[in-house]
Chains A and B, each alone.
Chain A
Amino acid sequence: MVMYKVSYVVIGSNHPGGIANSDHRPYIHEQIRMGDTTFEIIEVFDLMPARGGFQYIHATCRAVPQEPEINSL
């Protein structure tokens, strides 16, 4: 099984981004979550050649604006 080690770089905010494994190749418009924030991926490319069972991916993403909570009546 191939694993994808992904470097998530965030633009448009001071969030430092993150690194995580994924069981699938990230894709544009995919939404991912780090801590309390949801991000949308806007760019994906190979960062380094694959080695062993891993592919190394860069994903640029931006924070998805959070909708205000709706209070139930």
Chain B
Amino acid sequence: MILTQILKNVELFDGLTDSELDEVAAICDERRYRRGEIIAKQGEPGDEFFIVTQGFVEVLLEEPRRAVVNLGPGQLIGEMAVVDQGPRSATVQAVEEPTVVQVISRDEFEVLCQKHTRIGYIVIRNIAADLSFKLRHRNLSEK
């Protein structure tokens, strides 16, 4: 499937035009992981974020190690590094094979948002909505 078509089905990019999706696709880099491979490690610096396009990942908190959520197709990982530029808040591990993600560098994303402020506004609004959804999921899971 063409990358822009994949991105169209990702909430993060909901509201972007086809030409804006082309701009986003131009800064995406595909990575493939085997089951058990680590995508991001808690505490390490994070300068990129990820969109799961195939498979599932498990988000883990360390010490003691515990799973907090599984994220599948269309879901965003590592977005907190874009928002607050802090270290990774959790470890992320592939739990299906293959797990495929699209990777976007924070620096390239910021350049894109400065050049196309409408993209920046829509994507940041959608990141806020995604974080809100994750909180709602967690609240329901802990009932």
Chain A residues with CB under 8 Å of chain B are: 1, 3, 5, 7, 9-10, 15-21, 23, 34-36, 47-48, 51-54, 56, 58
Contact = CB atoms under 8 A, between A and B. Distances in A.
Given A7-B140, A19-B70, A53-B14, 17 more contacts: A3-B9, A3-B74, A5-B133, A7-B136, A9-B140, A9-B141, A16-B68, A18-B72, A19-B69, A20-B71, A21-B75, A23-B9, A35-B58, A36-B95, A47-B133, A48-B136, A52-B11
B26 interface: no
Contacts of B133: 5, 7, 19, 47-48, 56
Q: Is the interface of A mostly helix, strand, loop or mixed?
A: strand
Interface range on chain B: under 10, 10 to 19, 20 to 34, or 35 or more? 20 to 34
A17 B69 contact: yes
Given A3-B9, A35-B58, A35-B96, A19 B134 contact: yes
Contacts of B129: 51
A23 to B, nearest CB: 8
Nearest to A56: B133
Contact of A20 (B58, B72, B95, B141): B72
Contact of A19 (B67, B71, B95, B96): B71
Contact of B11 (A5, A18, A34): A5
Contact of A34 (B10, B56, B136, B137): B56
A34 B70 contact: yes
Contacts of A19: 69-72, 75, 133-134, 137
Q: 4 tightest A-B contacts by CB?
A: A20-B72, A21-B74, A18-B70, A35-B95
A54 B15 CA distance: 10
B73 interface: yes
B70 A17 contact: yes
A46 to B, nearest CB: 12
